[in-house]
């Protein structure tokens, strides 16, 4: 019998507990937003800008680790020259990094 009485809500504490719970959920959401969601959106925006800015002749590294030079561009694909006049077609999204030439410095 004593256990049931101890678990019963006591007057005004029920409303205060609800507010503190909502504040805690809000704080957790804010932490997730600023630590996970916002940086991920920023990286996606940078990746999209990089893919739109690639030009013929740029040296790139693909997500699979393949190094090559952009030989041609299409709307959703790129033609990569991997050497010895061998050209391969890949999706633009496969481009991971555009390498900077040492002559640009």
From residue 92, alpha-carbon distances to 4, 28, 51, 66 in Å are 64, 36, 7, 14
- Cα dist. 48→31, 58, 83 in Å? 25, 16, 27
Task: Write phi, then psi, for 11 (nearest 5 degrees).
Answer: 55, -120
pLDDT tens digits, one per residue of 56-74: 999 999 999 999 999 999 9
How many Å apart are CA 22 and CA 81, to the nearest integer? 56
Q: What is the mean pLDDT of the chain?
A: 86
Indicate whether this model's pTM tops 0.75: no
Could you give phi then psi for residue 62, rounded to 5 degrees?
-90, 165
> What pLDDT was estimated at residue 102?
52
Which pLDDT score is estimated for 104? 47
- pLDDT at residue 48 tops 60: yes
């Amino acid at each position: 019998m004593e256990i049931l009485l101890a678990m019963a809500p006591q007057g005004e504490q029920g409303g205060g507990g609800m507010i503190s719970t909502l504040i805690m959920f809000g704080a957790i959401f804010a932490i997730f937003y600023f630590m996970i969601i916002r940086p991920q959106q920023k990286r996606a925006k940078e990746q999209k800008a990089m893919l739109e800015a690639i030009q013929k002749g740029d040296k790139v590294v693909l997500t699979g680790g393949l190094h090559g030079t952009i030989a041609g561009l299409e709307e959703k694909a790129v033609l990569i020259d991997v050497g010895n006049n061998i050209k391969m077609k890949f999706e633009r999204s496969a481009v991971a990094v555009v390498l900077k030439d040492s002559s640009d410095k």
